[in-house]
């Protein structure tokens, strides 16, 4: 065993042991926020944080982040604690509320006085949790994965759901027995009523030319493509040079990679045409500047559909993903709100066609999808969940 691996194991055991100390909760109301295991300051936890700052400035609001986000947190003026430190253990163990959008390690203990609010991070297309028949992820077995999912999910006191469809799946896929609040994802609040002025401002903020159309490619990772536990591989399934030659004159491409594969693509040769925005804090702002979304099996299209703009699906490994990896809750070939391309030739064609449309709502299939998944969210989800927080006994 390498010395570095041994040291990490010893540290983790010490951290796990330190959770067993009986800490006294903070006298001041304290809420912990964490996004994707400390990898980002983003998503619904960020939307709730910003609303909480406005409504309850008297609360102590603290971000849990990885070490590489310290500069970002300090620049923004956020209070923070670095994950996997002894200060982190003490801080989260003394807080009255945790706001998370992903699962926590099993060895992280939840105190009896802490309320755990799970925002989750998407409407499910691909199978989740107990619904995955064969788990191919590294470092686990199907049985152990299922057991851990049930154990983790039932530490949550409240789970946020975006729609009735998701509520039903969360119950069965997570084996979840506690409260679900069906009020939409707070991260999508800003998609409700965008203005041209706001989009202009965001393009300038991100650094995108105002006179160019914007395509965003946002794929998910593949469970079976990894080089070690927690580290996944990904190779772009189309040629960036081809994209540049076909569309580069009046269009730019944003690459928004899943957080597990966010360091897998080099865009240095395509400056001014291809932008890697994987680390951009607020994906909703990226949706707002995007004229057309390209994705595969990621749940991003459920959120992007709020804007009623064209979506192209590019499932280049459809049969493998459907039959051998995850499988789907929806009929992928009949119920999606956009066109499907299975190879790069058709992908370029569908992108070309999509860029000539700005509004997708003239498509009956899209409208049926929108009414089922998006109609309920009117832009006030963060306000609603904070009212639910106010009912907690945080003394």
pLDDT of residue 293: 98
Q: Which residues contact 359 (CB under 8 A, 6 or more apart)?
A: 308, 309
2 located within any domain = no
- Gap between the Cα atoms of 205 and 333, Å rounded: 37
User: What is the average per-residue pLDDT within 279-289?
Assistant: 92
5 located within any domain = no
pLDDT of residue 237: 85
| Same structural domain, 18 and 140 | yes
Q: Which residue has the higher pLDDT, 189 or 361?
A: 189
What's the domain count of the chain? 2
- Confidence tier at 227 by pLDDT (50, 70, 90): very low
45 located within any domain = yes
Domain span at 73: 14-188+380-389
Mean pLDDT, the chain, whole residue set: 91
User: What is the average per-residue pLDDT within 233-246?
Assistant: 88
* Residue 185: closest CA among 124, 137, 143: 124
| Same structural domain, 227 and 326 | yes
pLDDT of residue 1: 62
8 located within any domain = no
6 located within any domain = no
| Same structural domain, 114 and 204 | no
- Gap between the Cα atoms of 189 and 378, Å rounded: 7
Q: What CATH number is given to the structural domain containing 299?
A: 3.40.50.12580
Alpha-carbon dihedral of residues 25, 26, 28, 30, nearest 10 degrees? -80
| Same structural domain, 102 and 124 | yes
Each residue's pLDDT tens digit, 38-63: 999 999 999 999 999 999 999 999 99
- Gap between the Cα atoms of 81 and 63, Å rounded: 6
Q: Which residues contact 394 (CB under 8 A, 6 or more apart)?
A: 29, 96, 97, 115
7 located within any domain = no
């Amino acid at each position: 065993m390498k010395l570095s691996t041994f040291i990490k194991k010893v540290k983790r055991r010490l951290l796990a042991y330190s959770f067993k100390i009986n800490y006294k909760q903070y006298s001041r109301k304290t809420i912990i926020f964490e996004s994707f295991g400390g990898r980002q300051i983003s998503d619904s936890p960020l939307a709730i944080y910003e609303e909480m700052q406005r409504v309850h400035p008297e609360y102590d609001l603290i971000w849990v982040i990885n070490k590489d986000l310290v500069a970002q947190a300090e620049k923004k003026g956020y209070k923070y604690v670095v994950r996997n430190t002894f200060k982190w253990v003490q801080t989260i163990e003394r807080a009255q509320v945790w706001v998370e959008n992903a699962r926590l390690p099993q060895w992280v203990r939840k105190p009896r006085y802490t309320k755990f609010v799970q925002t989750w991070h998407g409407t499910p297309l691909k199978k989740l949790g107990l619904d995955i028949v064969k788990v191919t992820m590294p470092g686990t077995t199907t049985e152990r994965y299922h057991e851990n999912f049930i154990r983790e999910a039932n530490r949550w006191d409240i789970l946020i759901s975006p729609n009735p469809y998701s509520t039903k799946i969360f119950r069965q896929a997570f084996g979840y027995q506690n409260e679900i609040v069906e009020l939409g994802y707070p991260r999508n609040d800003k998609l409700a009523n965008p203005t041209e002025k706001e989009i202009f401002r965001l393009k300038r903020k991100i650094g995108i030319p105002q006179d160019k159309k914007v395509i965003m490619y946002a794929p998910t990772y593949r469970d079976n493509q990894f080089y070690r536990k927690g580290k996944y591989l990904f190779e772009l399934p189309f040629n960036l040079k081809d994209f540049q030659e076909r569309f580069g004159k009046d269009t730019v491409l944003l690459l928004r990679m899943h957080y597990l594969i966010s360091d897998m693509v080099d865009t240095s040769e395509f400056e001014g045409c291809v932008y890697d925005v994987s680390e951009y804090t607020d994906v909703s702002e990226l949706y707002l500047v995007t004229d057309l979304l390209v994705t595969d099996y990621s749940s991003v299209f459920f959120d992007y559909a709020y804007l009623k703009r064209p979506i192209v699906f590019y499932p280049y490994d459809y049969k493998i993903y459907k039959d051998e990896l995850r499988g789907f809750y929806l009929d992928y070939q009949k119920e999606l709100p956009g066109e499907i391309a299975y190879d790069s030739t058709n992908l370029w064609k569908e992108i070309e066609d999509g860029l000539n449309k700005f509004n997708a709502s003239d498509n009956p299939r899209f409208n049926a999808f929108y009414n089922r998944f998006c109609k309920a969210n009117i832009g006030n989800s963060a306000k609603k969940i904070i009212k639910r927080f106010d009912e907690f006994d945080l003394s």
